[in-house]
Structure 1
Amino acid sequence: QSWARNRVAEMDCRARSSLRATASTSAAPRARRLDVRCMARKPTRLSQNKKREKLRDNAEKARRTKLRRELNSRSTAPGELTPQQRVDAADHEARRWLGQHFLIDHSVILDALDAAAVTDGDRILEIGPGTGNLTVELVKAGAVITAVEKDRNLADTLRTQYDGDDAVTVHEADFLKWNVAREFEDVTAKVAELNAVGADERGVYPGDAHRAKVVANIPYNITTDILKQLLPMGDTFRDMVFMFQEEVARRLIRADSGASDYRPMSVRVHYYSEPYYIRPVTASCFDPPPNVESCLVGFRPKPRRELPALRGTEKQFFSFVQACFAQKRKMLKNNLRAVCDDEVIAAALEDLGRDEKTRAQQLTMEEYVRLFNFVRLKGVGRRESESSPVESAEKESKTIRERRARVERATSRLVAQAVGRDVSDEDDDDDEGIIEV
């Protein structure tokens, strides 16, 4: 029986194989499947744009290389070139992470010099000279320039151009870490010596005219840090002209009390200086052009003797102002409750002639000075018996920043979990930064 079953199974297998062979020979041939990988793909719009950009970049590099060879063969001096030719001859690709946008409009450069009233023999501080477009015009005006450049290639190029010229000193350094006071201590000493005799019959101090000046096309991402460092040096500098982002200029220069963009930095700027607007500057005036509009702005720093008197240190005053702006949507009295009691707040607002609905952005710089001095004087009734109102303001401001940092870190973790990646904690930055910056 087992033999019979095996025989039947063998015959069945042969029959099925025969049927499959018959079906394969009689059926119509199957259409050949096309290999998509071997087909020529139609170029996408993105790939076409990349090709065009690459062709433009290659053409621009070829143009600059040709121009650089021509200039080198003619041994042209830097002062004989146009701003655009100097940028091309430098053969330097702008580093946007350093905020490098070289000024190539000659009229804007001349307006900056006119605003600073640069004359023969003036000491000038230039931050970020780049390819030297502004430096050349300062040299023509007879100024003595101290240039601070962070980019090593550009600093070496400037040193080579002005090798042997005592009018130009180039420092390769990060300006925010550079000791400005030490470099200009001779200017500060001379001003103090001349002012020691006192003012003349017109009330003018003779040493003020010998202060240095600042003319610079600064990186926009360190605008606020530069102002914090230079504005208090009114005994060293008398005129400052900067290239600013238009938005930042409106916030710091044009913003009057009551405006929505009035910030603690606006109070700081008006405390230390007299800011003024010079002119707008379009993006086409730079190479490469920035993504924002720009403008020239000026500052006239006040000598230390002209600063408003404070019942405390300047650090305490600005910490107090920061605490007043802690929550801009709230009324000023609610922010002040972290500093002093309701009785002191009511008396302070009455002294200013303000009602209880006043908000932080409605006070002028002079009113903040009066408010600070009043709170320092009327320290009684404060909530913390061991610390002054201003010290409380400093603690409150720090607490708010730490709380904001914790919220941002928690949000980053949630976002990281949502996209499936890890995000490490980052330090909280000062919220007065530029492109506040």
Structure 2
Amino acid sequence: MSSIRMFHCRFSCRTAIRPWWPAALLGLLGLLAGGLPPAQAGTVEPIRIGSVLTLSGPGAALGEPELKTLQLYVERLNAAGGLLGRPLRLIHVDDGGELAKVDPAFRRLLDAERVDVLIGGTTSSASLAALPLVERAEVPFLSLAGSVLIVEPAKKWVFKTAHTDRMACDKVFADLRARGLTRVALLSEASGYGRSGRFQCLARAAASGVQVVLDDSHDPKEADFSAPLARIGASDAQALLVLGVGASSARITRAVHAAGLKLALYHTHSIGSKAFIEAAGDAAEGVRFPAAALIVAAQLPEADPQKRVALEYTQAYTAAYGGSVSTFGGHAYDALMQWAEAVRRAGSVEADAVRRALEATHGYVGTGGIVHYAPTDHLGLDATAFRMIEIRNGDWRLID
């Protein structure tokens, strides 16, 4: 049986001969993917990369840099000859931040497009919803979302490049203790990431020497936070940790500032974009959050092994698109580069060969940290992958 895979039989089988494609169509696909000479692209079937991202709605600030990064580096890989002598074709679908669109988006990529790898799931809700499909389809999936539940327990076909909510809780609690703050209020949004983060922080607080004095939640679409903020203000909390994704995080930050709450304000790595600072305005001043080294690359010590990688990505991304980088684009870069390296080591895009090569990744230096995968660890990052950042004068400053 050929190692070239075709998804069919509604997840019941995966191995079959791909249909013959006219050379003219293959040439067009290669040109769309970018970079390869027409003669080469016209004779070789492209490797298909499928991506479900949040490109519209409140989470668009996360998905947009992810897509731009994938487009940029697919083009660069193609300009360098592709992988295994084949061009790459990126096929992306916008889920609009709507859970109802996730299943059909992933099914389209798996069934109709017959992709060789999946990169995406901007949000935890999208990634978690895709897990059963991916596991049955037996296609490598590299998630870009934060919930630890995506990779715990370890799933055969699922890997993740974003730091986890559990890691964020631990980093925030450690910083609170260092500042002599032991009483914290939680405000989590009703989303996959918010719920998972709330659970992780509640579970980690006591062992971290921190007391959760108020545990509140909100609908990410709401604009009025007066009720939960009144409860937080009436508590004896010394700090507030917001667990959310996208535009609601900026709205909460503005509301905290307007209410005059004198609390140390923390978020998680979900605000690792200048879009948050722009949306929150002056209210962002003094906010602390854990994030990848990428966004403070220039502030890293020269001996830091991530500095070169992070600076090179920053220079490439800003030269192509302007503006600034975000942790979200970095997650996409790490996913694509880890997968590309696994394909090279496997010498094939056959699903299980690539999966095994991914699982054998050890010492990959990326924008998010230094990755060491194992059969029971498909995140491969430890606590050293997180840095504590503070927003000062509209920019990021490395604290720890």
Q: TM-score, normalised by structure 1?
A: 0.27
In terms of fraction of residues, the more strand-rich structure is 2
Q: TM-score, normalised by structure 2?
A: 0.29
In terms of fraction of residues, the more helix-rich structure is 1
Higher RCO, Cα 8 Å, sep 6+: 2
Q: Based on CA coordinates, which of the two structures has the bigger radius of gyration?
A: 1
